[in-house]
Amino acid sequence: MHHLTSCSPQEHEERAPDHMHDYTPPNTCSTPSECLPLSQWNETMECGSELAVDTMKKELKSRSILADCSTRMRSIVSFYFCYLLCLCLGIACVVFVSIWNSQWRGGFAWDGSALQFNWHPVLMVTGLVVLYGNGAVLYRIPLTWGQNKLPWKLLHAGVMLLALLCSILGLCAVFDFHHTNSTPNLYSLHSWIGICTTALFTTQWVMGLAGFLLPWSPMSFRKLLKPAHVWMGGCILILSIVSCISGINEKLFFALKGTTNGTMPYGNLPPEALVANSLGVLIVAFGLVVLKILSNQKWQRPEPQSEDLGYSPLLQDDS
């Protein structure tokens, strides 16, 4: 039977195997720099930072692209809403002026009578206001962006030429009526504004043709003409609206005299006056929408740098 003997700690250490004396406990690292060499730690830090920065840049770029697309989509939707309103108001202007002169003024003719005069308001409203305004905003339509500009220039010039011909024909109608009935010409403020507006429009169209469509037009002349062309385009639209409004009011004062010509006085606001006044309101609303479209910088047609060497479009391409 073996007897168990106890030993002191000192005796236990003396009896321990030799390999136990060579054991060294693992070091504990309180900081990353104590576990990794400084150069390796710096390389690890730089690598992680670059990955984080790259990831953050990609995320910010994606967010920026999404925000830009969302803003652009809202801008396009807003434009088409205004453009649709512009088209509806323009059609309403033509309908109202036609109904007014056909139903209450007796219709149309070209025989020097009062029926010939009725062509004057119809042609002036259609040409100087509706066609002119729609021609001015033609370049703002997003569907035209990124396409060959020359066809749109020609369409713009054609619409403006049609508007100019309508206004000239409207002036011929009223001058011939005055000549047949021995009525003096150009004595009212309305006639002064109207003739000046048509003269400015004619000059504007001729200068636009010479400066922006003719291939031999020098670049320096186009650069000089463009700001004036854009500014004058807006002025002509405003003058056209003022001319039409004053003409409507003048016609109502002459036509609705009460007992002298068998009509109700203008002061009683008969149905004819309601229609004519409504026409004036529609013309003003149409002009405001057109000016809103032209004044919004976000709705300008993007111009590539390469197109600086080509033709510049006619009215309102950069306004």
pLDDT per position as a tens digit, 168-197: 999 999 999 999 999 999 999 999 999 999
pLDDT of residue 203: 96
Q: What is the mean pLDDT of residues 216-233?
A: 89
- Is the pLDDT at 46 greater than 60? The verdict is no
Q: What is the mean pLDDT of the chain?
A: 82
Q: Please state, in angstroms and rounded to a whole number, the distance separating the CA atoms of residues 250 and 261.
A: 16
- Per-residue pLDDT reduced to its tens digit, 130-159: 999 999 999 888 888 877 888 888 999 999
- Model confidence at 3, pLDDT cuts 50, 70, 90, reads very low
Task: Dig out the tokens for 302 from the structure.
Answer: 């993007």
Report which of residues 145 and 115 the model is more confident about: 115
Return the sign of the alpha-carbon dihedral for residues 166, 172, 175, 180. Answer: negative
Instruction: Give the rounded percent of residues in the chain with a pLDDT score beyond 90.
Output: 55
Question: Of the ranges 113-117, 238-242, 252-256, 315-319, which one carries the lowest mean pLDDT score?
Answer: 315-319
Do 264 and 270 touch, CB atoms closer than 8 A? yes
Q: How many residues does the chain have?
A: 319
Q: According to the model, what pLDDT value does residue 206 have?
A: 95
What b/e string do you get for 194-205 counting C-beta neighbours within 10 Å, with b at 16 or more?
beebbebbeebb
Would the pTM count as exceeding 0.85? no
Q: Phi and psi for 87 in degrees, rounded to 5?
A: -65, -45
Report the distance separating Cα 190 and Cα 306, nearest Å. Answer: 45
The domains found in the chain, sorted by start residue, are 84-309 (1.20.120.1770)
Tens-place pLDDT, residues 306-315: 444 344 433 3
Rounded mean pLDDT of 26-50?
A: 51
Q: Which of 89, 318, 94 lies closest to 222, judged by CA?
A: 318
Tell me how far apart the alpha carbons of residues 35 and 32 are, in angstroms, rounded to a whole number: 5
28 against 191, higher pLDDT: 191
* Alpha-carbon gap, residue 307 to 148, rounded angstroms: 10
